[in-house]
Structure 1
């Protein structure tokens, strides 16, 4: 079987940043140009669909500002080959099905964000989306290298070794591949209990994809989100070591899906109706979230399932007691389900959740981008939509971002300044022959 290039950030997301999806025209009569554009697009719809394949990128390792083909960016060859299975590409095939489902949901979210101030998702769509974004983060560059290079702290390395023996696996990367396969094959609400998934990753799924709630932040007209190699699923929160084990507690998880939208997962204390962030901060030595003042409106649920409350309390139900070693999250889930049943409600696939598109200010957009910039590795590949906004982002990062360790993007800043000066010179050249009485401007629009 021939080698295949597998993306850890999928093509359909990267196409939202593609520069050949848009055209930049210098125009005076906008309505006239729009009519021309409509006639042009009418005849070349198929050609337009084939575009959206070029990204504007900065390669930090090469110190190179330029463009890159989507088909050759953010991926590795043969990431999902399972040589222990007759069908070596079976994981990739299953993943492509989930990606197809999630892509429809994300495209729907993007479409609604351009026309509405909210979007309604079914529970099943939401569960598939959560599973998808977890796997997108789990299969990223850093996590994949961790398993292929057996790059763990001593205690986790022992845990991986024990798990390999239990599951009859020979190499750490087989653990990574089995985890993905099992997550794909297991219903969302059962992933946390699947013992074929490595415990550390199973617990991470439980906390991030089940306990955390989802919000959708939207950048303003003059703001943009960026994408980095390890930025899909990066988190802001608390990290350190406890009893010799590394730990991280998430305050916010970020999944940029377009220059204008980012999906954000937050633990329940950030819900307005819960309002227990102070207790959370106290637990971690007073370390506060840098996004504590940003809006956190939870989705509004509409449950369609009704149950007979007189039949509740079956003796066959598992016993949950916080004092007998029950995991605290499992206890919370049980209490929540019990509260639903007490009110005659049960979860159904077609329960509806209404999410607001939450407009955030420029300062918050810059903070999200700063988190992405601050966690980059030496081999960073950064994708952006416009040179001018990336320049502004780098300036703000160097000036305002408060962190003990900052990355140096001085070279990128210089290259962006050179590019912006060149664009300005082109602009002046075009304006030379324009009569003083006329007004022309640059207009950027989607071609299809």
Structure 2
């Protein structure tokens, strides 16, 4: 479908309105008032002041990063961290162009009331603040929009034509615009998404989860859901009086968590393969930082329940295993979930209050403590902002001394621990920014040199574009499921794309996506994988519970219980048992969990893989016409040589024994290709022979 070419460009700045992407009510928490100029001798000319810089006006101290050399400056609260006509839609009539800006102003006023409650509670040393469910939800909505309404996203969507939008989801956005011809520009989609989220009624029953993807661009609706439901909010404050948080253009947009980069062999370009948001941030003042912490990280109170801990560990392994043994640099941040009005702590465990019916209500209350954090954590959070300030215009601070300390800490911290790993297409620009900050640090009295790492040989990838297209296919399926109220997309092609995607993201060929190949070989498919994963988690939990419940009784009885449970598990479908065996093996090898959708490449030797493929080859051999013909000839020969065989075994039994014996003799030859393919030792093959022909198919020598 062709789209007209509307004019989305703003009018001249002289006719425009300065619109903040960081609201003034937050900026004021970092501001101070312009002091009165001292009186000079009689007849001294009155000092000249710029607009917004008169005595008593609120101003912001900041480091201006827009110059070749960064400079310290003061700016009015009204003229920093914003831009002209940022949220105006100039394809609309004059009276409607600033509709979204007005909605944002209304939301900011509501959020300001709640944040004022937080800052006043901190100043009064109350130890925490109580918010209603509605207040908490409004803050969560506001914090997502602080990320989504940022300068970065304005730049992302600010195009006159759909084909000018060039981000990774470009095909999805263009498809969405084709389906909704009222949107002529990507900018209109962005503004509509902001409006939809502002007006969203986040009802306690979570009906909005099903409705939101039908009302806006589905990819960003899914992102909003993940942001709101996939983490919890904590209020952090410095434990030492001299420490302070800083504020940058993108402080509300950056995250802490593992990233994965690679160089595409085809294009010779470096790019991100994926990332995980373990923590995101929202500076409230120099002394208060909202931290949104992922629910996959450990929670000591909830994890007192073995079932909950097992589920959380399993989920974390699924998410983080592709990035190596990482939990993030803020994993030890001393925070926890807010307390609520419908649960309590009894004997160190979190339990629901008596009479609670399990329903969420608007009258529910949540108490958010102020968590004191030490210098290390304050510096890490500030360093995350500094490490991502390449496209920023300003670094806002309250005390220059506190800013100098945290800047020096960032520049001199070990790169592999805190960032400063310069990769990707913009690595030269990042190095330039790093040296700019180093010059600032020296001007503030530091004599230390900045440390950084620029890898010379990043990991390579066969085809980054193929990964991107696989991701698009995945999102299309989820969009179809969400919009049509389906529980999950029902498409076998989607299952196959998951295999290829996981193989590619690990830098492997498609043929090496072997784990799910084995799963399919055992009868698994897209239709069974969701239930199998769920059931394996339950199987592991039951296994743990049986051990926990029988703690203290005779060890022989406990072992018998384990064996009985395993016997029952052996009755399950082989593809489900396959998942369980993989999971149990990883637990024995001291892993936290298992990535069920990736090949297990780190452990030398995979005998269970050889069993899967070996059994198939043995069965194919046993069913072959040539072997059966040979077995019949051998049977006749044996009966003639030893007539007593007729009385001991029936004809089918004799044939069965002959076939098994022949397969056992040929086993080593059959398994040699599998041994080489899976890097198995000859000892493993010998052990497999004993298992197969002693336990599975009992066979005489």
The interval holding the TM-score normalised by the smaller chain is 0.7 to 0.9
- Separation in structure 2 between the aligned mates of residue 210 and residue 60 of structure 1, nearest angstrom: 35
1:392 to partner: Cα distance: 0.7
- Separation in structure 1 between the aligned mates of residue 368 and residue 151 of structure 2, nearest angstrom: 30
Q: Does 1:58 align with 2:85?
A: no
- Separation in structure 2 between the aligned mates of residue 363 and residue 81 of structure 1, nearest angstrom: 42
Q: Please say if residues 65 and 412 of structure 1, whose CA atoms lie closer than 8 Å, have aligned partners that are also in contact.
A: no
Match of 1:156 among 169, 184, 190: 169
Match of 1:79 among 70, 75, 86: 86
Q: Please say if residues 6 and 79 of structure 1, whose CA atoms lie closer than 8 Å, have aligned partners that are also in contact.
A: yes
Indicate the residue corresponding to 1:222 in structure 2: 242
Indicate the residue corresponding to 2:220 in structure 1: 201
Indicate the residue corresponding to 2:277 in structure 1: 250
> 375-384 or 238-247, which moves further after superposition?
238-247
- Separation in structure 2 between the aligned mates of residue 9 and residue 51 of structure 1, nearest angstrom: 22
Match of 2:148 among 125, 131, 138: 138
- Separation in structure 1 between the aligned mates of residue 135 and residue 35 of structure 2, nearest angstrom: 29
Give me the CA root mean square deviation.
Answer: 3.0
Match of 2:291 among 264, 273, 292: 264
Q: Please say if residues 192 and 206 of structure 1, whose CA atoms lie closer than 8 Å, have aligned partners that are also in contact.
A: no
Give aligned pairs, total: 358
Question: How has the CA–CA distance of structure 1 residues 376 and 100 changed in structure 2, closer, same or farther, with 3 Å as cutoff?
Answer: same
SS at match of 2:255: strand
Q: Please say if residues 214 and 299 of structure 1, whose CA atoms lie closer than 8 Å, have aligned partners that are also in contact.
A: yes
- Separation in structure 2 between the aligned mates of residue 138 and residue 235 of structure 1, nearest angstrom: 13
1:206 to partner: Cα distance: 0.8
Question: How has the CA–CA distance of structure 1 residues 356 and 192 changed in structure 2, closer, same or farther, with 3 Å as cutoff?
Answer: farther
Q: Please say if residues 231 and 292 of structure 2, whose CA atoms lie closer than 8 Å, have aligned partners that are also in contact.
A: yes
Q: Structure 2: which 5+ residue stretches go unaligned?
A: 1-10, 37-54, 265-270, 304-308, 344-351, 423-430, 447-701
- Separation in structure 1 between the aligned mates of residue 248 and residue 187 of structure 2, nearest angstrom: 24
1:401 to partner: Cα distance: 4.8
1:376 to partner: Cα distance: 0.8
Q: Please say if residues 191 and 205 of structure 1, whose CA atoms lie closer than 8 Å, have aligned partners that are also in contact.
A: no
Q: Please say if residues 128 and 367 of structure 2, whose CA atoms lie closer than 8 Å, have aligned partners that are also in contact.
A: yes
Q: What is the CA deviation profile of residues 205-255 of structure 1, one whole-angstrom value per residue up to 9, with x for unaligned ones? A: 111112211111111311100000111232111334799995432100111
Please identify which structure carries the higher strand content: 1
TM-score (norm 2): 0.48
Q: What is the CA deviation profile of residues 37-95 of structure 1, one whole-angstrom value per residue up to 9, with x for unaligned ones? A: xxxxxxxxxxxxx9462011111121211111111111111122233365221111111
1:290 to partner: Cα distance: 0.2
Indicate the residue corresponding to 1:68 in structure 2: 75
Indicate the residue corresponding to 1:399 in structure 2: 412
1:294 to partner: Cα distance: 1.2
> 81-90 or 134-143, which moves further after superposition?
81-90
SS at match of 1:233: coil
Indicate the residue corresponding to 1:357 in structure 2: 370
Question: How has the CA–CA distance of structure 1 residues 366 and 401 changed in structure 2, closer, same or farther, with 3 Å as cutoff?
Answer: farther
Match of 1:179 among 174, 193, 215: 193
Q: What is the CA deviation profile of residues 81-128 of structure 1, one whole-angstrom value per residue up to 9, with x for unaligned ones? A: 233365221111111111111001001101101221111000001111
- Separation in structure 1 between the aligned mates of residue 88 and residue 105 of structure 2, nearest angstrom: 14
RCO higher in structure (CA 8 A, sep ≥6) = 1
Indicate the residue corresponding to 1:431 in structure 2: none
TM-score (norm 1): 0.73
Q: Please say if residues 60 and 396 of structure 2, whose CA atoms lie closer than 8 Å, have aligned partners that are also in contact.
A: yes
- Separation in structure 2 between the aligned mates of residue 101 and residue 269 of structure 1, nearest angstrom: 30
Match of 2:28 among 15, 21, 27: 15
Q: Please say if residues 61 and 378 of structure 1, whose CA atoms lie closer than 8 Å, have aligned partners that are also in contact.
A: no
Which structure is larger by alpha-carbon Rg, 1 or 2?
2
Indicate the residue corresponding to 2:399 in structure 1: 386
- Separation in structure 2 between the aligned mates of residue 238 and residue 120 of structure 1, nearest angstrom: 33
